[in-house]
Amino acid sequence: MSQKNSFVRLTLSYLMLIILSVCALYPSIWVVVSSFRPGGSLYSKNFFPEKWTLAHYETLFTGTQYTFDIWYLNTLKIAFFTMICSVFLMTLSMYALSRFRFRGRKTMLTIMLILGMFPSFMSMIAIYIILLQLNLLDTHIAMILVYSAGAALGGFIVKGYFDTIPRSLDEAARIDGASHLQVFLKIMLPLSKPILTFVALTSFTGVWGDFIFARLVLRSKDNYTVAVGMYELIASQTNSNFTLFAAGCVIIAIPITILFLILQRFLVQGLTSGAMKG
Amino acid sequence: MMKRHRNTAAILSVALQGLGQLYNRQWLKGIVFLCVQALGLYYLVPRLGHAIWGLVTLGETTQKFVKVGKSTELVKGDHSIFLMLDGIIVILVLLVFVLIYALNIYDAYQNGKKRDEGKAVRDFAASWNHVTVNHFPYFMLFFPVLGVLFFTIMPILFSIMLAFTNYSAPNHIPPAKLVDWVGFQTFIDLLQMKSWSNTFFGLLVWTVIWAVLATVTCYFGGILVALLIQSRGIRFKKMWQTIYIIPYAIPQLISLLVMRNLFNAKFGPINQYFAYFGLDGLPWLTDPFWAKVTLILVNMWIGIPVSMLLALGVLTAIPRDLYEAAEVDGATSFQKFRIITMPYLLFATAPILITQFAGNINNFNVIYLMTGGGPAKGDYQFAGSTDLLVTWLFNLTLVNNKYNMSAAIGILIFIMIASISIWSFRRTKSFKEEDMLS
């Protein structure tokens, strides 16, 4: 009886798991398949095309209208430097806030919390005017600057992680004569690899997905990031360009998805350590 | 005891930054302070007056055409918005220098006190050493704070100030026109003028409904999926987990734009499948009600993986001995689930409910990329039926140029989120602990 019961339960569970998997994977598979379909339209009679083609990928990289290769390199560049700068600023500030008790610390933490509550678009116009006056519009420096400048605000996750590393470790090192900087570099950083990987990954991928700010700042086509390029592509003429768009999606999504899956372990650690602290 | 040195040094430092340090025979430090003040004066003296005038008046003359001989020339007027921003920057810089000035007086006084007490003052190398060791955190925080100050705090200050002006199209856009301070008029218009208040309260209600539904569906959806994966007898747990992470791994911009096409009423595959079974298909994105349903569904697709990961993390962290103890007491597996697993899970993940709720109030991407706020709603001012307050704010800024209105909305969103956060902080136990914000 109980054996039969558990058989039914397991079958139902597996059925559910499979249905969920289909839901999770269907959009991605659909886009991948669409990117190989001849023609440009969104509509197709069958799920799988009768003929497969690489033409859309060729158009993306060799076409004159869409300079996808340049956009790709631009994004890679911005994402890379943003990642370096944000991780640098984040670890510095969060180390200080986690390990030291100094005057103004609580005020600072409170201000950080409060700033995070403003809708981020509120500052858009001001940043736009500042960049205009600094003559930085339509440059990649501006993107890197703005993306990383606010990075410290998103660092609560890092601080939560630092807090879990026992303080006795750095105190012991201090007694042995290590300087603050040495403690930071030789003890804290190696121990916090999971969380650093996590924030590096999120700041890297964040750049690939941001089109709002990028569209505001980047005006000339040669400076576009892939996000802006893709958005323009689909916003202008969805139905006739859909397969081309799908090919672009595949090229953007594949490296990032693979990165995520490889670093899955860190992802779980990062998410849980940061969020549980609240 | 003599107080001669401390007073003289402090007074000298009040008179001229660095002078007190020189008096204390801290030559290098004194010179550094002097140079900093020179720099400050060099920057501030030509600017401060103009900055304050600009902030107060927001400009007095508009641009106009002047006849020069035979031709007319455009004479530049005051640009209210640039004046305002410059004003804020100069004031912030002034604050930084005032802080250094105060520090200088304090330092001169302290070192004077040392001399009064017959102790030696530190030389420059020793001072430097003292500062970098005992005030190390300030050094680490210098660059992050600078970045936040100029790219987050200042823009927010600027936006808050905008809400109290009449900076909006079509009548008050510089450089052709000037902008003026109007006090709370923008807020009064937003809440009382029929056309604005109707839109505002309509969107507010939808924003709250959206935030509640989006949070609850993702939260419990994620927990259920996690429980399913972790339930006894299921094999290949890692594989299922990896499959369900994929929606989270794909950049949102991509997956949302893809979804928009997937749900396309005319050509999208979903309605195609409906037709396959002889059904009519649904107006997924074009009908106000169904558009909202679609948004919730798509948001679940995007949001469940995160909650699932969190729940999985908690599930593996539940101490085994709890279950063993329960087994000894003869608990059935359902009882174990109800008494141990569920409370543990809910307790550990409750804090993220609040963060996710606040995040959903500002969930821009899903709405903007899926429906763009549409379908249109006639009696709304510059908004559609699925617009959230934050997408409305965005459109008011970038499309309609009603800057003051959008700043006011931003402030109201802030007040909303801040009150929710404070309320939840007060409820969580950690509030009472020493490191509340740690």
Taking an 8 Å cut-off on Cβ atoms, the answer to whether A152 and B158 are in contact is: no
Instruction: For residue A273, name the pLDDT band (cuts at 50, 70, 90).
Output: low
Which amino acid type is present at position B23? Y
Instruction: For residue B428, name the pLDDT band (cuts at 50, 70, 90).
Output: low
| CB-based contact, A12 to chain B, within 8 Å | no
| CB-based contact, A162 to chain B, within 8 Å | no
In chain A, residues 111-140 whose CB comes closer than 8 Å to chain B: 113-115, 117-127, 129-130, 133
- Residue B4: exposure state from Cβ atoms within 10 A (0-12, 13-18, ≥19): exposed
Has residue B408 got a pLDDT over 90? yes
In chain A, residues 229-258 whose CB comes closer than 8 Å to chain B: 230-231, 234, 238-239, 242, 245-246, 249, 252-253, 256-257
Flag the least confident range among B78-87, B223-232, B287-296, B329-338.
B329-338
Longest dimension (CA), chain B: 104
Calculate mean pLDDT across residues B295-300. Answer: 95
Calculate mean pLDDT across residues B216-240. Answer: 89
In chain B, residues 171-200 whose CB comes closer than 8 Å to chain A: none
| CB-based contact, B141 to chain A, within 8 Å | yes
- Residues of chain B in contact with residue A9, where contact means CB-CB under 8 angstroms, are 233
pLDDT score recorded for residue B410: 92
Report domain extents, chain B. Answer: 4-172, 186-432
- Residues of chain B in contact with residue A93, where contact means CB-CB under 8 angstroms, are 140-141, 144-145
DSSP labels, B85-132? HHHHHHHHHHHHHHHHHHHHHHHHHHHHHHHHTTPPPP-HHHHHHHHH
More confident residue, B396 or B122: B396
pLDDT score recorded for residue A271: 72
Has residue B1 got a pLDDT over 60? no
Calculate mean pLDDT across residues B383-409. Answer: 90
| CB-based contact, A207 to chain B, within 8 Å | no
CA distance A17 to chain B (A): 8
| CB-based contact, B383 to chain A, within 8 Å | no
Taking an 8 Å cut-off on Cβ atoms, the answer to whether B410 and A100 are in contact is: no
Flag the least confident range among A8-12, A81-85, A117-121, B193-197.
A117-121
Dist. CA A226–CA A237, nearest whole Å: 17
Instruction: For residue B267, name the pLDDT band (cuts at 50, 70, 90).
Output: confident
- Please count the other Cβ atoms lying within 10 Å of the Cβ belonging to residue A84: 15
- Residues of chain A in contact with residue B405, where contact means CB-CB under 8 angstroms, are none
**Tell me: the pLDDT tens digits for A210-255?**
888 898 899 888 899 988 888 887 776 655 678 888 888 898 888 8
Q: What percent of chain B has pLDDT over 90?
A: 29
CA distance A187 to chain B (A): 16
- Span between the terminal Cα atoms of chain A, in Å: 45
Which of A100, A145, A252 is nearest residue B136 as measured by Cβ atoms? A100
| CB-based contact, B91 to chain A, within 8 Å | no
For all residues of chain A together, what is the average pLDDT?
85
Which of B233, B410, B430 is nearest residue A118 as measured by Cβ atoms? B410
Tell me the two tokens of residue A267. 């992802």
Has residue A275 got a pLDDT over 60? no
- Residues of chain B in contact with residue A115, where contact means CB-CB under 8 angstroms, are 148, 152-153, 156
| Nearest chain A residue (CA) to B428 | A278
Has residue B430 got a pLDDT over 50? no
Sign of CA dihedral A232, A237, A242, A244: negative
Q: Residue B362 contacts by C-beta under 8 Å, 6 or more apart in sequence?
A: A119, A120, B388, B390, B413, B417
**Tell me: the pLDDT tens digits for B52-89?**
999 888 888 887 777 777 788 788 888 888 899 889 98
| Alpha carbon distances (Å) from B64 to A142, B38, B53, B68 | 33, 39, 21, 12
CA distance B221 to chain A (A): 11
Tell me the two tokens of residue A26. 């269907």
Dist. CA B407–CA A63, nearest whole Å: 42
Q: Residue B108 contacts by C-beta under 8 Å, 6 or more apart in sequence?
A: B9, B10, B12, B13, B19, B20, B21, B23, B24
Dist. CA A217–CA A74, nearest whole Å: 14
| CB-based contact, A71 to chain B, within 8 Å | no
Dist. CA B13–CA B411, nearest whole Å: 42
**Tell me: the pLDDT tens digits for B155-202?**
999 999 999 999 888 888 888 888 889 999 999 999 998 889 999 999
Has residue A175 got a pLDDT over 60? yes
Dist. CA B361–CA B350, nearest whole Å: 18
Tell me the two tokens of residue B266. 């005319």
| CB-based contact, A106 to chain B, within 8 Å | yes
> For residue B211, which of B104, B366, B38 has the smallest C-alpha distance?
B366
Taking an 8 Å cut-off on Cβ atoms, the answer to whether A113 and B234 are in contact is: no
Calculate mean pLDDT across residues B213-231. Answer: 92
**Tell me: the pLDDT tens digits for A61-108?**
887 777 888 999 999 999 999 999 999 999 989 988 888 888 888 888
> For residue A92, which of A151, A144, A145 has the smallest C-alpha distance?
A151
Q: Suggest the residue from B86, B255, B258, B433 to mutate for an interface test with chain A (most A CBs closer than 10 A).
A: B258
Q: Taking CB atoms and an 8 Å cut-off, how many pairs form between chains A and B?
A: 266
Taking an 8 Å cut-off on Cβ atoms, the answer to whether B140 and A122 are in contact is: no
- Residues of chain A in contact with residue B370, where contact means CB-CB under 8 angstroms, are none
Instruction: For residue B114, name the pLDDT band (cuts at 50, 70, 90).
Output: confident
| DSSP bridge pairs for B74 | B65
| CB-based contact, A6 to chain B, within 8 Å | yes
Q: Residue A114 contacts by C-beta under 8 Å, 6 or more apart in sequence?
A: B418
pLDDT score recorded for residue B270: 85
- Residues of chain A in contact with residue B254, where contact means CB-CB under 8 angstroms, are 209, 230, 249, 252-253
Query: What kind of architecture, by CATH, is found in domain B186-432?
Result: Orthogonal Bundle (1.10)
Q: Suggest the residue from B261, B367, B431 to mutate for an interface test with chain A (most A CBs closer than 10 A).
A: B261
**Tell me: the pLDDT tens digits for A24-61?**
999 999 999 988 988 777 777 777 887 888 888 888 88
- Residues of chain B in contact with residue A277, where contact means CB-CB under 8 angstroms, are 351, 438
Give me the residue label for tokens 């400050």: B40
Asked if residue A43 lies in contact with residue A247, where contact means CB atoms within 8 angstroms, the answer is: no
**Domain A57-277: CATH class, spelled out:** mainly alpha
Flag the least confident range among A11-15, B8-12, B279-283.
B279-283
| CB-based contact, A177 to chain B, within 8 Å | no
pLDDT score recorded for residue B431: 41
Q: Residue B338 contacts by C-beta under 8 Å, 6 or more apart in sequence?
A: none
Taking an 8 Å cut-off on Cβ atoms, the answer to whether B267 and A43 are in contact is: yes
- Residues of chain A in contact with residue B267, where contact means CB-CB under 8 angstroms, are 41-43, 239
